[in-house]
């Protein structure tokens, strides 16, 4: 009898383990990559608020935000974007399934972002005009990748 219950408990553990893996594959990888994006959004938000005049220009804060964006582009995210982790397998992600089956040119989109972030890094601390000029291409580089890689967002 005791053996039976132990067996049952083990079977239950194995089952729930499998079930949660099935319901939410790569949940941690998805959380991590979305976290990197939220980090980008926070930092571009600092720059955007200055560009729009909502917040007074501050060279140090602007430089910090631009530096953070450049750093975010240097992370190796290959272990976060793994086949089986798209929106089709896990609705918590907004990554299109084609990202893992077709060449959508995402590497080039990432390179565009890096270029725009570096231009912002060179300009952000040097005055509001330079920051404003670097803002357009930077924002476009975010959207350019989202357009190809993400399920359209409302
Ligand atoms: C090279 C591609 C690429 C670039 C460049 C890029 N993103 Fe993303 N972004 C993605 C992908 C892919 C996702 C979806 C991740 C997921 O849901 O698994 C995403 C998701 C997001 C999200 C939603 C995160 C969440 O919690 O679901 C935000 C916010 C975001 N990006 C902001 C930005 C900003 C701001 C920039 C530019 C400063 C940027 N991204 C640049 C590919 C990119």
pLDDT tens-digit readout, 50-69? 999 999 999 999 999 999 99
Q: Is 114 in the pocket of ligand 1 (CB under 6 A)?
A: no
Query: 132-147 burial, b if ≥16 CB within 10 A, otherwise e?
Result: bebbebbeebbebbee
Which percentage of the chain shows pLDDT scores above 90? 82
Tokens 């910090």 found at: 64
For position 10, what pLDDT does the model report?
57
4 CA → ligand 1 middle, Å = 49
- Token readout for 110 is 């990432």
For position 153, what pLDDT does the model report?
85
Distance CA 31, CA 102 (A): 23
């Amino acid at each position: 009898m005791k053996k039976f219950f132990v067996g049952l408990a083990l079977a239950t553990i194995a089952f729930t383990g499998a079930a949660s893996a099935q319901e939410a594959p790569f949940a941690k990888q998805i959380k991590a990559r979305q976290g990197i994006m939220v980090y980008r959004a926070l930092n571009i938000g600092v720059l955007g608020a200055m560009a729009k005049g909502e917040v007074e220009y501050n060279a140090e804060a602007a430089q910090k935000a631009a530096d953070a964006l450049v750093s975010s582009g240097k992370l190796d995210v290959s272990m976060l974007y793994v086949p089986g982790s798209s929106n089709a397998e896990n609705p918590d992600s907004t990554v299109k399934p084609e990202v893992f089956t077709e060449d959508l040119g995402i590497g080039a989109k990432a390179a565009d972002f890096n270029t725009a972030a570096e231009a912002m890094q060179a300009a952000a601390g040097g005055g509001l005009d330079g920051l404003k000029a670097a803002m357009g291409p930077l924002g476009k580089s975010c959207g350019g990748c989202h357009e190809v890689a993400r399920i359209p967002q409302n």
